Structure 1
């Protein structure tokens, strides 16, 4: 009997070289896996550092992500861009870590003498975290520090969506696939994140300490059309 015809390649297999690498990993190619790790490790650690606010924890979580990728290799199907699939795993790993961290904080809070903490405005938390006050024009490195401190004050889902949008250049659709949300839900999430960032950065903008153009960069919406969606 003749061999059955090969399965048709998906559009992702045809257009995404990283999907083809992952298919080689599925077939047992260890070198292909090492290539993917080398390509994405730095990006993953960067994203995870923004999410969990700790470099060492981020490095551990990145290793966990790649371990999950390797364990899932035999079940891998190219139904999305490789980066979307990878960041979906990253999102799940980060969310689990943040939930565990939140539970630990709740336990510590209950066991503390007062049982409560003072509520502080988000912008004050951002100032304290960045170590900077909006009394002067900030240097570029300081602006970046303030922006990242502001993003870290967002809620978990808003923070993840903002990072995927602004640092990974993902479209609404890709962010939705990564986070398990509809495109409309992502739009709403990013809209709320932009409004919150505007409030957090207001003292810096009013004092002239932060350039308007830099803050506006976080108010730009993903260009889905430009990304082929």
Structure 2
């Protein structure tokens, strides 16, 4: 009888522990997914799917880097969505936020032109290149990017370098000023 009580009380603790994880990572995962898909409602759906999948697979004994594990699940959810829908609409959220801070009309016009150019440049990249750039912009190390994308750190560095080069080339062609990034 004592054993049943222990089993019953340990499950709420596990749920409480996972609730804490959701509270800590829900906003960053949501922002990351929004930057990948460019649609708020879709990013919320993918975020929910991410945490449902994470809850089902959660084993603290096997997870070495919780953040990387969650971002990998989120990336996989977004990539699966794009494979199903064959839609590529990515937004560089951090760039748009920086440009959009000045409320003046002239600045707003620049923000619109810049956001459109950034989005076009990102849309021309391969999905793994977009993910590399967005993960790096989110502050992840090469090792963490590698873990999230399921490749070696060397491959992550190479992908990131190629993604940066491709983005610069794409952005330079499409930017409002005609210059590079």
TM more than 0.5:
yes
CA distance in 2, matches of 1:206, 1:51: 23
CA distance in 2, matches of 1:26, 1:99: 36
Match of residue 95, structure 1, among 68, 79, 101:
79
CA distance in 2, matches of 1:89, 1:56: 18
Contact 1:53 1:152 in 2 (8 A): no
Q: CA deviation at 1:207?
A: 2.5
1:33 maps onto 2:18 in alignment:
yes
Distance 1:36 1:182, change over 3 A: same
Contact 2:113 2:176 in 1 (8 A): no
Q: CA deviation at 1:204?
A: 5.9
Q: CA deviation at 1:140?
A: 5.3
Q: 1:47 aligns to what?
A: 32
CA distance in 2, matches of 1:156, 1:77: 31
1:170 maps onto 2:140 in alignment:
yes
Contact 1:164 1:175 in 2 (8 A): yes
1:188 maps onto 2:145 in alignment:
no
Q: CA deviation at 1:162?
A: 0.7
Match of residue 126, structure 2, among 155, 179, 182:
155
Distance 1:204 1:96, change over 3 A: closer
1:36-83 per-residue CA deviation (whole Å, 9 max, x = no partner) reads 21221121121112222322111101000100111112x332542210
CA distance in 2, matches of 1:81, 1:195: 29
Q: CA deviation at 1:183?
A: 1.4
Gaps of at least 5 residues in structure 2 are 1-9, 88-95, 97-105
What TM-score, normalized to structure 1? 0.57
CA distance in 2, matches of 1:158, 1:147: 14
Larger Rg: 1
CA distance in 2, matches of 1:39, 1:52: 22
CA distance in 2, matches of 1:159, 1:207: 23
Q: Please tell me the root mean square deviation across aligned C-alpha atoms, in Å.
A: 3.0
Q: CA deviation at 1:89?
A: 1.1
Aligned length: 154
Q: CA deviation at 1:141?
A: 6.9
